[in-house]
Amino acid sequence: MAMMRLRREDPRVVGSFRLHRRLGAGGMGVVYLGSDRRGQRVALKVIRPDLAEDQEFRSRFAREVSAARRIRGGCTARLVAADLEADRPWFATQYVPGPSLHDKVNEEGPLSAAQVAAVGAALSEGLLAVHDAGVVHRDLKPSNILLSPKGPRIIDFGIAWATGASTLTHVGTAVGSPGFLAPEQVRGAAVTPATDVFALGATLAYASTADSPFGQGSSEVMLYRVVHEEPQLMGVPDALAPLLHACLAKDPEERPSTLQLSLRLKEIAAREAHGVAENRPPAPRREPERPTGRRAEEYAQQHTERRPGGTPAPRPQQPRAAESPRASAPRTGGGRTTNGGGRANGARTGSGRTTGAGRGPAGRSGARPPARTTGTGRRSPGPDRRLLRQRLIVFVVVTLLVALGIAAAQGCQGPANSMRELHRPPVESAGAGPAGPAAPAAGA
């Protein structure tokens, strides 16, 4: 909402509110932006001096303020305070930040069918709360609807009136805005909730086309069209046109109720929003950047997927570079391929490990763990396989050492027994001579 500086004739303080800016002026008075001692911001309307001297207007204004206090709903600006006995009566409502529907459409163009239906559904709920309080707004139009971050809000209940009251303040003078008045308002008949339904239909038609359904012209021309001519709904989306045409019926009895209008607009909003989501083209898929060099090695290690049994998942085959003549050399029986004393790319060693830059034959990549590519173009085992090899070597060495120790211990026991047998003195057998040299005779 546009704000202007205070003029010299504008008051600086009204009641307990300090005024800061002008928000606008209308047929009843001037609207200011104010705040109380706690910092709460309000939209404060001060009645025009000539209307303040009219006792009939004061009485009607007092009844309207009393009715506005009963309104409860999230789609309306709540009445904060009012002074009906002041020299210039005033009332303050909750300040709603955001542009009006009129300014939004005037600056950015018509709204989509989904947006119009969503705004209309919220406004219908707001009018339902207004009508439940026994009040008819009577001046619903695009400039009296603010699009706040929390949703649309209905403002300016300055000419609101109890259900069944007339719209004529003086003889032949209708209260409201030409192009959005209902036919019964122009004729001076009693207003009902159907009066606000007509105004809401005209407001939603404006949001869809950026123009009044009764065109442009002087007040007299517009009022005549409202009473005698059919609304022009060219440009209104097909999903909304039948419902808005029903809202703009000349006979109030032929218009949908506020509750029916709310339910129908919710259905249209949901259907249109779903259709927009289905027709929206998919977002372009961005290919992830492939790291190079040392980052490529770390990335491959971190994103290696493994199967439940611990077997590494097969990595997608990468396109091979042009193979050199050495890579296509045949294998020898020993599993090594030589070409001038060198080992060919993709050759297998005796241990079955690929030492070249190429992979083994097709179909074996799923059974092997992914290898890491070194800076020289060769693939070397990742850290997990290198650690496994180290542990395997340590285990084999320890096993061999233990086996050698056991064998050595058994070998030491065998020679010791043999030496003892060699150094043991011979045993003489009965009737047989000594095995060695003859022993000297006793007494010899």
Lowest mean pLDDT among 272-281, 282-291, 363-372, 410-419: 363-372
Which spans in 230-293 are helix H?
Answer: 241-247, 258-279
Name, in order, each residue with C-beta under 8 angstroms of 72's C-beta and a sequence gap of 6 or more: 129, 133
> 103, 139, 156, 238: which one is catalytic?
139
Domain membership of residue 258 (yes or no) is: yes
Domain membership of residue 309 (yes or no) is: no
- Tell me: the pLDDT tens digits for 370-398? 555 544 445 555 557 788 888 889 989 99
Give the global pTM: 0.59
Same domain, 171 and 63: no
Q: How far apart are CA 374 and CA 378, in angstroms?
A: 6
Would you call 139 a catalytic residue per the annotation? yes
Same domain, 214 and 247: yes
Same domain, 87 and 120: no
Domain membership of residue 314 (yes or no) is: no
Domain membership of residue 408 (yes or no) is: no
- Tell me: the pLDDT tens digits for 146-193? 999 989 999 876 555 544 444 444 333 445 678 899 999 999 998 999
Same domain, 48 and 172: no
Q: How far apart are CA 183 and CA 401, in angstroms?
A: 110
The predicted model gives 57-77 an average pLDDT of: 79
Same domain, 164 and 127: yes
Q: What's the half-sphere exposure (Cβ side, CA atoms, 13 Å) at 338? A: 5
Domain membership of residue 294 (yes or no) is: no
Same domain, 125 and 163: yes
Same domain, 106 and 229: yes
The predicted model gives 272-276 an average pLDDT of: 79
**Host H or E run for residue 221:** helix 219-228
Domain membership of residue 207 (yes or no) is: yes
Name, in order, each residue with C-beta under 8 angstroms of 264's C-beta and a sequence gap of 6 or more: 243, 256
Map tokens 């003549």 to a residue. 325
Examine the fold and report which residue of 95, 120, 137 is the final residue of a domain before the chain moves on. 95
Structural domain harbouring 106: 97-276
Residue 354: C-alpha distances to residues 246, 343, 367 (Å): 80, 11, 13
What are phi and psi for residue 135, nearest 5 degrees? Answer: -120, 145
Domain with residue 9: its CATH number is: 3.30.200.20
**What pLDDT, on the 0 to 100 scale, is given for residue 279?**
60
* Residue 39 or residue 159, greater confidence: 39
Examine the fold and report which residue of 217, 241, 276 is the final residue of a domain before the chain moves on. 276
Which percentage of the chain shows pLDDT scores above 90? 39
Same domain, 150 and 80: no
Same domain, 121 and 264: yes
Q: What share of the chain is helix, strand, coil (3-state, %, to 5)?
A: 40, 15, 45
How many domains does the chain divide into? 2
Examine the fold and report which residue of 66, 95, 124 is the final residue of a domain before the chain moves on. 95
Same domain, 256 and 191: yes
**What pLDDT, on the 0 to 100 scale, is given for residue 355?**
43
Q: How far apart are CA 201 and CA 119, in angstroms?
A: 12
Domain membership of residue 19 (yes or no) is: yes
The predicted model gives 264-282 an average pLDDT of: 79
CB count within 10 Å of CB 296 equals 13
Chain-centroid distance of CA 157 in Å reads 36
Residue 56: C-alpha distances to residues 60, 68, 164, 238, 244 (Å): 6, 18, 18, 46, 36
Same domain, 126 and 83: no
CB count within 10 Å of CB 118 equals 21
| 94 CB-contact burial (10 Å; exposed 0-12 / middle 13-18 / buried 19+) | middle
Q: How confident is the model at residue 333 (pLDDT cuts 50, 70, 90)?
A: very low
- Tell me: the pLDDT tens digits for 199-219? 999 999 999 999 999 999 999
Same domain, 42 and 134: no
Domain membership of residue 105 (yes or no) is: yes
- Tell me: the pLDDT tens digits for 92-150? 988 988 999 999 999 999 999 999 999 999 999 999 988 988 888 888 999 999 999 98
* Residue 177 or residue 43, greater confidence: 43
Q: Are the CB atoms for 154 and 130 separated by under 8 Å?
A: yes
**What pLDDT, on the 0 to 100 scale, is given for residue 356?**
41
Q: Which residues lie across from 24 on neighbouring strands?
A: 31
| Greatest distance between any 2 Cα atoms in the chain | 180
Q: What's the half-sphere exposure (Cβ side, CA atoms, 13 Å) at 52? A: 16
* Residue 409 or residue 411, greater confidence: 409
Domain with residue 197: its CATH number is: 1.10.510.10
Sort residue 264 into left (φ over 0), alpha (ψ -120 to 50) or beta. alpha
